[in-house]
Structures are given as structure tokens and as C-alpha cells.
Chain A
Amino acid sequence: MSVVQTEQLTKKFGHFTAVDHISFEVGKGEIFGFLGANGAGKTTAMRMLCGLSKPTSGKGIVSGYDIHKDTEKIKRNIGYMSQKFSLYEDLTVRENIRLYAGIYGIKEKEIAPGTDLLLEELGFLKEKNTLVKSLPLGWKQKLSFSVAIFHNPGIVFLDEPTGGVDPSTRRQFWELIYKAADQGITVFVTTHYMDEAEYCNRVSIMVDGRIEALDSPANLRKNYECDSMDGVFHQLARKAKRQAD
């Protein structure tokens, strides 16, 4: 069963076609890498899938809901985490979890035990009353991710979750992703780190609003005769005609 399904999905801003007739599917529990150069249309496409932006034309279903009509239901049933803002800096770790859990309608009596379990898994128990602004970036990102999947969504969208994070925390972050996928949560992720593209089950590469390639990293490397995803990305992104975002 697919969790994301799009058909000829398109978004235009005036004469500019940001997303140009993209069709693809993402399966349950899959780690799906959504790559492209700056300005290729990734963010616009992701915003449509999250119910934040209406498509100009084409179809899209996310977690069983129509991205034209059911945008509110989509928002309730997905997880989302961006690089820039996910947590409230002036709230403590525990308060942030409680806030998000409340927003997603988790029952009061389930929040406390869920919070303890989450903090224990992350090794953050000691930090539960620490203000988020005093945490190192890598910790914030791990916490944001856990908060984004606290309500056990069918799919979580991650927009450059590891930018600027130190190398070992970046890897711990990916282990959290694997774990979530193991539990059946579909992971839809963008990144500028090409080694991280290798951790995905399948990867799509957007160029000028279109999906130019979509396959497993191993097949992409084979088809483009490259020994790394970096090479594949360079080959495809160099074809871009339009100006970066």
C-alpha cells in the first residue's frame, strides 16, 4: 500500500512552474529521499504533500487523504520537521513534548508515560527540565524528530533535518530514522548530504520541477555509471536550466 501517491502534480506561481507534473509513489515503512538542487522544487512539492499549499493541477493522496480537499486531515495525520524551526526555544524539553502531543490530540494520561519513554530512549531524562535553547543543535534535532513522530503518524516529512549537525550526531539521527521506519512509519526526507541519500530505500532527484530519476541508490549508481550518489546527483543537477531558488 502506498502512503504517498501523486499523479501529474503541478504547482505554478504566475508563469513559473515550480513543480512540473510529477508522479510517484512512496510505500509504507519506506525511507524515501527527496533530493534536488536549491530551487529544483522540493520545498514546493513537500508543502503540497503536507497540505500547506494547493496544487495548480494534478492529484495527490497522502495517508489516504486528498491533498486538494482534505488538507486539515492531512496535517493531523502526518509528522513534520524542518531544519529551521520545530521546537519552542523558551519551553523546556518536557513542555515542548507536552505541547506538541496536546496539539496532535494525544490523551492527557498517555502523554506523561510516553514522554518518559521517549526521553529514556534518547538518553535525555536528565535534561527534561532544560530549556530547549540551551541544548546543542544535534540534540534539538533528535528531539524534534521524536516529537514529530510522537503521535505515531503514518508518514513523517523531514526537511534537511541534519544540516550543520556534527558527524556522529548526524549518524545517531539516522539510526532514529531507521528505527521509526522499522516501526512502520514512512520517512520522507530531504538532504544535501549525499552519503545520507545512500541510507534511503529509494531516492528521487528533482531537476527544474520534474523528477528526473527515481530508484534505489544502488540502481541509480549503476544506471548512471557512478560510484557514489554524489556523482549521480552532479550528473543530473548539471542539466538544470533554470536559476536556483
Chain B
Amino acid sequence: MNKIIQVQNLYRTYGKVQALSNISFDVEEGEIFGIIGPDGAGKTTLFRILTTLLLADSGSAFVDNCDVVKKYRDIRKRVGYMPGKFSLYQDLSVEENLQFFATVFNTTIEENYHLVRDIYVQLEPFKKRKAGALSGGMKQKLALCCALIHKPRVLFLDEPTTGVDPVSRKEFWEMLGKLKTEGISILVSTPYMDEAGRCDRIALIQNGAFLKIETPDKIKKDFALPLCAVHGKSMFALLKDLREFDGIYSCFPFGDTHHVAFKDESVSIEELRSYLEKKGHDDLILNTIGAGIEDCFMNLADGEVSL
């Protein structure tokens, strides 16, 4: 399969801050590849280098077989980029923005309308409205349309769902799924770990370095420790007592349960239960569970257990 993005040993610093450290990865053509990590991890720096807006200190990167330094003009024609910060023309209307981006890329709205149709129909009632006066969700949809109108080979989406409510986030990912079927490759970043499952492969990033690159399922399967979800009546007190239990490697709150990773297989759930009962906890529910992406991220970021 053709590799649409190839990155080798990329480094970038800002003064004393190491923004990217030895980043290497490939994205296959037609893949949705997710870069997942918190704010400040280096996601935007990576996107800016790949979209030819920033130079790396060292290392190489190719997008659609073009070197990001030598052939930056070719790359700019072939990629669509949606930055994290809304960067359309606020004083132009919805229609004018789309028209503008089509013209800049030497095409017309009509020519590639099929790509944006599903999204644009939702914007059509507001097409005369200035972009600056749109709602957050609508701005995001317009930005996606503008990034798509020249039928790019690759779409770069930098945190498209940050600050967006769970329902709109789900809709946005459904749109990306459709674009994939059109053959467009997508590199997308997000701080929301629950979105990882929507990607074909993901890279977990923290402090400028990749912790792991894999399919979401494989990452979850690779979680090496026995994991248990614990629920009780007084969750905060439960958390404190769990952390004092000997056989525990880590314990984190996860909504209505706490996820407890045991140091090894030798500790049984029943041992934990009797310890907690002795501490006076009621209505305990303990279940063995499989790890989620967030469990994996925290475990990998912690760096003490090799997975």
C-alpha cells in the first residue's frame, strides 16, 4: 500500500522546550490516523511541520511523496488543513468563504460539491451569514468544507472536536468516516481518548514523544496488568483506601467506578473485596474489565511498566 505520510526522526524545539522528539511514523493511503494526547504534547507542531508551515530542526517528512521542505508548494496544493483555531475569514459570508477557498485552489464549488454536500446542506440556511457570527459547531463544519473543496489527497485536522459537546463530536466523526470512503486520507488530532476507537491506527503522544503507535484494539489488548473496576457507596473514601492496598499498581477514578490495576496475577479480586469490607465499605461491586485507551495512555505515560 502507498504511504501518504512518511515521517522520520523529526525534532523541533522552541527555545528550551523540546516540542517534538524523535517522531517517526507512516500513514497508509486511505487511513484515518489519530494523534492522541493532551494540550501541549506537540500535536500542533507536528501538524504545522507536515503542512509546510513550520520547519523541523532535523528529520525528514514526506506528504504524498513530496518532501515538506523542498516541495512545499506541491504539498500545499494537495492537502486540506483545518487548524485548531478557527481561521476562516470572519467578515466573509459562509458562501463567500467556500467560494474563496475554491478559487484559491483553482477549482469551483460545483466541481467537488459531492465531497462537501452532506456537510454543506446543514450550512445552507445560513449561507449569507458572516462566518464570524456562526455557532461553534457551524464554524467547524464550514472549516471542514473549506479544507475539502479542492479535493485534497490528505486532510489534516488539528483538534477539530475540542470544546465540542459529545453529540456534535459523534456527528463529526461520522462525517470523517464518510470522507474515508471517498479515498481521502486523514490525519486527525484529539485530546479526547474516547475518540481513539474511530481511527484505524493511533499514536499516543505526550511531551513531544510518541508513547506507542498501534491500532486502538491492539493497544488495549497490550495492557499487561490485571484490571478491575470497583464501585462502592463512598467513592472518595474508597479511592483513598484502594491506594493503600498492597497489591495495587495504580488506581484511578473512571466515572462511576475506580479502575484498579494489580501488580500481577497473584492478587485476587476476593482479597481486595475482603480488605475493603474490613475498611467498612458497603455495596461493593468488583468486576474484572478490559483496559480502555485512557487506562493505556496513563499506564504508558507513567513509563514504569513496559507493555
B165 touches A168 (CB 8 A): no
A198 to B259, CA, bound (A): 14
A38 to B167, CA, bound (A): 9
Evaluate whether A217 and B167 lie within 8 angstroms (CB atoms) in the complex, with A137-B40, A164-B162 already known: no
Cross-chain contact of B165 among A136, A167, A192, A229 (Cβ < 8 A): A192
Cross-chain contact of A174 among B37, B168, B253 (Cβ < 8 A): B253
Name the interface residues of A193-213: CB closer than 8 Å to any CB of B. 193-199
Scoring A38, A199, A217 by chain B CB atoms within 10 A of each residue's CB, the highest score goes to A38
A237 touches B165 (CB 8 A): yes
Residue of B nearest to A236 (CB): B167
Kindly state whether residue B294 has any CB partner on chain A within 8 Å. yes
A166 touches B206 (CB 8 A): yes
Cross-chain contact of A38 among B41, B165, B235 (Cβ < 8 A): B165
How many residues on B have C-beta within 8 angstroms of the other chain's C-beta atoms?
34
A243 touches B294 (CB 8 A): no
Question: Which candidate, B25-33, B46-54, B130-138, is the interface stretch facing chain A?
Answer: B130-138
A182 touches B236 (CB 8 A): yes
Residue of B nearest to A134 (CB): B17
B256 touches A218 (CB 8 A): yes
Evaluate whether A164 and B255 lie within 8 angstroms (CB atoms) in the complex, with A192-B166, A237-B165 already known: no
A186 to B167, CA, bound (A): 28
Name the interface residues of B135-150: CB closer than 8 Å to any CB of A. 135-138
A218 to B82, CA, bound (A): 39
A177 to B81, CA, bound (A): 38
Shortest beta-carbon distance, A212 to chain B, in Å?
13
Kindly state whether residue A25 has any CB partner on chain B within 8 Å. no
In the complex, chain B residues whose CB is within 8 Å of the CB of A168: 252, 298, 301-302
Cross-chain contact of B255 among A165, A169, A196, A234 (Cβ < 8 A): A196
Question: What per-residue 1/0 map shows which CB atoms of B209-248 lie under 8 Å from chain A?
Answer: 0000000000000000000000000011001000000000
B168 touches A38 (CB 8 A): yes
A192 to B192, CA, bound (A): 10
Question: What per-residue 1/0 map shows which CB atoms of B282-304 lie under 8 Å from chain A?
Answer: 00000000000010011001100
B297 touches A167 (CB 8 A): yes
Residue of A nearest to B256 (CB): A198
A148 to B135, CA, bound (A): 29
In the complex, chain B residues whose CB is within 8 Å of the CB of A237: 165-167
Shortest beta-carbon distance, B137 to chain A, in Å?
4
Residue of B nearest to A163 (CB): B163
In the complex, chain A residues whose CB is within 8 Å of the CB of B152: none
Kindly state whether residue B191 has any CB partner on chain A within 8 Å. yes
Residue of B nearest to A234 (CB): B167
A166 touches B301 (CB 8 A): yes
A171 to B256, CA, bound (A): 13
Name the interface residues of B94-111: CB closer than 8 Å to any CB of A. none
B254 touches A195 (CB 8 A): yes
In the complex, chain B residues whose CB is within 8 Å of the CB of A103: none
A157 to B138, CA, bound (A): 27
Question: What per-residue 1/0 map shows which CB atoms of B149-193 lie under 8 Å from chain A?
Answer: 000000000000011111110100000000000000000000111
Residue of A nearest to B170 (CB): A234
A164 to B193, CA, bound (A): 10
Kindly state whether residue A184 has any CB partner on chain B within 8 Å. no
Shortest beta-carbon distance, B301 to chain A, in Å?
7
Residue of B nearest to A192 (CB): B165
In the complex, chain B residues whose CB is within 8 Å of the CB of A194: 166, 255
Residue of A nearest to B39 (CB): A164
In the complex, chain B residues whose CB is within 8 Å of the CB of A136: 40
Residue of A nearest to B15 (CB): A134
Cross-chain contact of A229 among B135, B162, B255 (Cβ < 8 A): B255
In the complex, chain A residues whose CB is within 8 Å of the CB of B256: 198, 217-218
Residue of A nearest to B122 (CB): A243
B38 touches A171 (CB 8 A): no
Question: What per-residue 1/0 map shows which CB atoms of A153-194 lie under 8 Å from chain B?
Answer: 000000010011111110100110010001000000000111
Evaluate whether A38 and B136 lie within 8 angstroms (CB atoms) in the complex, with A198-B256, A229-B255, A237-B166 already known: yes
A234 to B239, CA, bound (A): 29
A243 touches B164 (CB 8 A): no
20 A-B residue pairs with CB within 8 Å: A36-B165, A37-B166, A38-B137, A39-B137, A163-B162, A163-B191, A165-B38, A166-B39, A166-B41, A167-B193, A167-B298, A169-B38, A171-B253, A194-B166, A195-B254, A198-B255, A198-B256, A234-B166, A237-B166, A245-B137
Given A178-B236, A245-B135, 14 further pairs, Cβ under 8 A: A37-B165, A37-B166, A38-B164, A39-B137, A164-B39, A166-B191, A166-B297, A175-B253, A192-B163, A192-B166, A197-B255, A233-B167, A243-B137, A244-B168
- Top 9 A-B pairs ranked by shortest CB distance? A166-B38, A198-B255, A195-B255, A164-B39, A244-B137, A37-B165, A198-B256, A137-B39, A237-B167
